Amino acid sequence: MRSCGGLPRCPLFPLDAESLGRPLTLQQRRSEEEVRCISDVVDSPTQGVPCALASAVPSKTVDLFEMIEKMQGSRLDEQRCSLPAPLKTEEEYIPYPSIHEVLQKGWPYPLIILPQFGGYWIEGTSHNLSSLSPTLSDVPFPWSGKVKLESDPTAKLYRKHFLGKEHQNFYSSDMSLGYLVLSVKYEQIEKQENLRLLLRTRTGTKHDLIPISCLNEFPNAVQMAKLLCEDVNVERFFPVLYPKASQLIVAFDEHVISNNFKFGVIYQKPGQTTEEEVFSNTEESLGFLEFLDFLGDKIQLQDFRGFRGGLDVTRGQTGTESVYTNFQGKEIMFHVSTKLPFTEGDSQQLQRKRHIGNDIVAIIFQDESTPFVPDMIASNFLHAYVVVQLTHGTTGDTLYKVSVTARDDVPFFGPPLPNPAIFRKSAEFREFLLVKLINAEYSCYRAEKFAKLEERTRSALLESLFEELQLRSRSMMGLPVGEDDKIENGSGGFLENFKSFALPGRSPSRTRASRFHGRRSSAIGIENIQEEKRDTAERIQKVLDSPGTFFDLKSDGSSSPSSPEFPSRKSKHI
């Protein structure tokens, strides 16, 4: 190691102050003299010891290492620094202001405040009406084009590029990666030959378009898989020979896509700061009723034929009416706190919380300024909230302030809120709000708790798909199949396992719910999530039962609505 001046620098001793142009202190001069003495001892061991150390070793060998240790210890004491204090415990941590402290400070209040010990992020904290033009038409919109629904980008790749086109499918099993399903398609793009590859593993799907000109030779299936994932370590892939394999594969790929959503809607009156207070509301203000009408259609639950979101449509045990909408082919049922059954004497209102507490995203509607705290509602499932507060412009027209909060492990989701986050009541805001809710749920699935559940579900479905493809292919070739592995026409391992994850009452998820033992509402939440996949399972049943092609072979691959008898929302009076 050399200093800036090119002179050797001892790693134990820093550059002295004199070499840097600064005067030495008395202590530093003494230290330098001692260092030079030690250096002389090292360089001239057979001569008399110079300077102050000579008298200490008149006739015997100096214990050099002991002296060096003493000098290093002295110098280390000079360089010693104080270590940072240990991390504070929760008792020592300085928390955020509590809801009561914020209320004592007086108006204006924010729409959302963080829990005292954090754990959430907030979007949309600026709601200054004075920064807007007094002309209501000048209230800005946060987008320049159409808002975008977010989803898994690989979910529809097979439908778009492979389904209904010539391609090959393969399967194999890797000791480390688990079951693998590979799809290969040759295609020409602008006179260039390419291989489009799609590899499914238990952790995700990998996709790439590889020009053949970049390859030394045409690869085999194993080499193709390694082009997508270098960790693949198998000797061979087996071809899929089952004629209906494409329908099974597309069903697996799109199991993450849902056309059914359920969101909570909680009415928070001014001054309400607890879960018990907001769930005990029975009256609805004119502003809240206007917002519900803006949000969707009021429907009677009795014999309702659309997506019910876990609500009872036969015996009236979850109320008589609710709010529903069909938005861009997606059915949305809102669990409105004031429309769910109210139980006298039950301070927790479990009949209401059993539905809203098991949603993943909820709207908090406020008539006036009262802060909402995300941990106000105890729930294992609720991960994101969209707070909407009613206000009015200078001309009396309806405006809405919006803030969003979610748990720390929930990634940010769009569309982003404008600054200030104030919207005028309009069809554009309704579209923005519904897209924000749907994207929030998709983003929540990437939080730790839901991501682990999704990985287990995907792993089990992939194993079932692998076994189905293997057994069907062996059966097509006339190879012997074990008694336990025989496949009856119209049913099979993949279908049964898919239905076990999709349908309530047939799922290992019943045992998974025991993780939340003692919390009845959480177990019911599993059932509600399973219900959303019922229609998909029914479509897969048709795949195996029908001799014809069930899935639409169009490239966009839009799924059929689950309730065609309920008309789509063509227009909404604003």
Phi-psi sector, 345: left (phi>0), alpha (psi -120 to 50), beta: left
pLDDT given at position 334 = 95
Q: Retrieve residue 306's tokens.
A: 């659309």
Q: Are 221 and 236 in contact (CB under 8 A)?
A: yes
pLDDT along the chain (574 residues), means of 10: 44 45 51 52 46 46 60 53 51 65 74 83 80 50 64 89 93 93 92 92 92 89 93 93 93 90 92 88 91 93 90 88 92 93 80 88 90 87 92 85 92 90 91 94 90 90 94 88 48 48 40 35 39 50 45 39 38 47
DSSP for residue 217: S
Give residue 316's pLDDT.
84
Q: Quick check: 417 and 385 in contact, CB under 8 A?
A: no
- 310: its two tokens: 């876990």
In this predicted structure, what is the pLDDT of residue 233? 92
Is residue 472 within a helix (H) or strand (E), and if so which, with residue range?
helix 448-476
Helix (H, G, I), strand (E, B) or coil at 470: helix
Residue that the structure tokens 């047939």 belong to: 506
Confidence at residue 13, expressed as pLDDT on a 0 to 100 scale: 42
Backbone angles phi, psi at 260, to 5 degrees: -125, 130
Per-residue pLDDT at 80: 52
φ, ψ of residue 208 to 5 degrees: the values are -160, 155
Q: Quick count: other Cβ atoms within 10 Å of Cβ 128? A: 10
Q: How far apart are CA 154 and CA 256, in angstroms?
A: 10
- Note the Cα 90 to chain centre separation in Å: 26
- From 485, 469, 453, 474, select the one nearest 180 (Cα to Cα): 469
SS3 content of the chain, % helix, strand, coil (to 5): 35, 20, 50
| Residues 211, 213: Cα–Cα separation, whole Å | 5
Asked whether 359 and 262 are in contact (CB, 8 A), the reply is yes
Q: Note the pLDDT of residue 128.
A: 78
User: Would you state the pLDDT for residue 429?
Assistant: 93
Residue 100: Cβ within 10 Å count: 8
Tell me the one-letter amino acid at 198: L
| pTM given for the model | 0.66
User: ∠239-245-247 over CA atoms, to 5°?
Assistant: 150
Residues 340, 344, 345, 346, Cα dihedral to 10° = -10
The whole-number pLDDT of residue 547 equals: 44
Which pLDDT value is given to residue 562? 34
What pLDDT is attached to residue 24?
52
